[in-house]
Amino acid sequence: MKTKLLLCAVLLLSAATNAQIKTGTITGTVINPEKKPVESATIQLLNATTKTLVKTAVTDKQGNYLFEKIAEGKYLLAVSGMGFTKKTTDAVEVTASNTAVQVPPIELQAQAKALEGVTVISQKQFIEQKPDRTVVNVEASPSNAGATALEVLEKSPGVSVDNDGNISLKGKQGVIIMMDGKPTYLSGADLANVLRNMPASALDQIEIMTNPPAKYDASGNSGIINIKTKKNKQKGFNGSASTAYTQGIYSKTSNSLNLNYKNGKLNLFSTLSANYRNNFQQLDIYRRYLNTDKTTKAIFEQTSFSNKHSGNYNAKFGLDYSLNTKTTLGIVVSGVTNPFAQTGENTSYLMGSSGALDSIVSARNSEYSKWKNGSVNLNFRHQFDSTGREITADVDYLNYNSNKDQYFSNNSYTAGWSLKNSDILLGELPSAINILSAKTDYTQPLKKGAKFEAGLKASYVNTDNTAGYFNLVGNIKNPDYDKTNRFDYKENINAAYVQASKTVNAFIFKVGTRLETTTMNGHQRLPSDTSFHIRRIDLFPYVFLSRRVGKIAGYELRGYLVYRRSITRPVYEYLNPFPRYLDQYLYETGNPT
């Protein structure tokens, strides 16, 4: 499904934002003593001064690695691989004159093997490269202490997060973010707020799948990131607590408490967290408008500063009860509230073709919002025998609610700062999303390393979004019907999949297909009563072939061949055809088709 997000001045805003930040790339190769490439070595990019982790990469089959969008500064590269001794390079520097840094080949030495006096300590690797996914073990890196889920994602291999919180995987946007195997149904700023306020101490693993199998939803043409939270199963009562305070220009705090109680057939677990952030953004924009002959028509300059305060309070409670040794029932209840406040000021200078100042616009804006999320999950698992034959089922209900109050004050002046006119615009933007989904999965091991999987899923989404705008004249609120909008959206997706896999000697083979039917109904009530209805049926085949091609210093090398068909589903706000205002000059609008 092709979607279009019509961005007017927002594109110019993004371009101007990126222009202010100088970034570069760091590339290189990892080799062994025989000068052959080392595949799946872990490269940690460290700040040369603080030794803190900035980003992580994994080498490909040719031993190559790449770090993109790296800010100017000095860095160290810490390189490790199974069977090799860890090595840290000398400092490398990204500068305005050298944005493409090529690091000389890094040679790893094989670990010496001691036959006596060996103490074995079990510890997970920070990065695990599996045949169909990359796994990040969050607790295996000390640098994740006090970090947030979003910061851990930013450091993960192939993952990038831009200034607006949009997440991309290997340069592609549209990645689906899942939490414990369930879609978050959020994107952009809303998703970034959830992850930014989730402590890393609550995470167990992050699974990165660039080509997820047929078991997973077909949406997302750049892959799936599944964030697994902790679920302690130690017997008795146990728990952990963490707190962190960070001071930059402003401060932020992160606090969490994990509790668990297991006795006999009963397992109780909970997570509580409270976080606070205070940050800012300073933005300078320069635009030059051209005539058809490329001469200057007009010049626009804008300086702006905004201060943001946000809190996040999260609670999750769960219960697992074992009916017998083979059957388990569970329930998880969670809730999040996220109060947010933003104030900003910007000044715009409008000039003619010669650069002479024509007029000035001074604007003040503020936004106060409260975002709430509640969810309930019922789950069931039955293991038929010890071979891995099992059936699982989940039913989820999620509710998202947000209320935003916006204030825009604009004053227009002459070049000499004489007031020409002023206006005040108020925005009231309530939004609600209700989601109900149910799924079941069946796994059947077969003979000689084969396995069969099948499953069903149904999801129902209902959203109601209102954008009410008012011009404030004196103390009287007059509705602005040119900007006011109300949009309802309903979506139903039904899916079924089958998948088979087999391991034979050096080969791993998977094949499957997923069938999805989608029904979408959109209804714009204001300013005019319009609606749309879309129904489609899609088939999504999947083929995966992996072969072990050899070993280097005890480290396994594999080759891959993958075919996967997917679909890009627009997030709900992208279907809303009416403008959403950021300030007097900037707005964005969606496309219902």
C-beta atoms surrounding 104 within 10 Å: 10
Quick one: tokens of 433?
């999303």
- Identity of the highest mean pLDDT range in 30-44, 82-96, 428-442, 565-579: 428-442
Distance CA 4, CA 575 (A): 9
Amino acid 194: pLDDT? 76
Residues 32-61, mean pLDDT to the nearest whole number: 84
Amino acid 22: pLDDT? 61
Amino acid 394: pLDDT? 94
Amino acid 371: pLDDT? 83
Q: Tens digit of pLDDT for each residue in 283-295? A: 898 999 999 999 9
The answer to whether the CB of 42 falls within 8 A of the CB of 80 is yes
Q: How far is CA 479 from the centre of its chain?
A: 37
Q: Tens digit of pLDDT for each residue in 332-358? A: 999 989 898 999 999 999 999 999 999
Q: Tens digit of pLDDT for each residue in 489-499? A: 899 999 999 99
The answer to whether the CB of 42 falls within 8 A of the CB of 83 is no
The confidence band for 11, taking pLDDT boundaries of 50, 70 and 90, is very low
What does residue 152 show for φ and ψ, rounded to 5 degrees? Answer: -65, -40
Dihedral angle of Cα 324, 326, 327, 328, to the nearest 10 degrees: 90
The confidence band for 233, taking pLDDT boundaries of 50, 70 and 90, is low
Amino acid 555: pLDDT? 59
- In this structure, the chain runs to a length of 593
Q: Tens digit of pLDDT for each residue in 510-563? A: 999 999 999 989 888 877 788 888 899 999 999 999 887 776 655 567 788 889
Distance CA 289, CA 353 (A): 9
Q: Tens digit of pLDDT for each residue in 170-219? A: 877 778 888 888 777 776 667 777 787 777 777 888 898 888 888 888 88
State the residue for tokens 């707190």.
243
The answer to whether the CB of 435 falls within 8 A of the CB of 396 is yes
For 474-554, strand residue ranges (E) read 476-479, 485-504, 507-526, 530-552
Residue 94 in this model has a pLDDT that exceeds 50: yes
Strand 64-71 to 159-161 pairing: unpaired
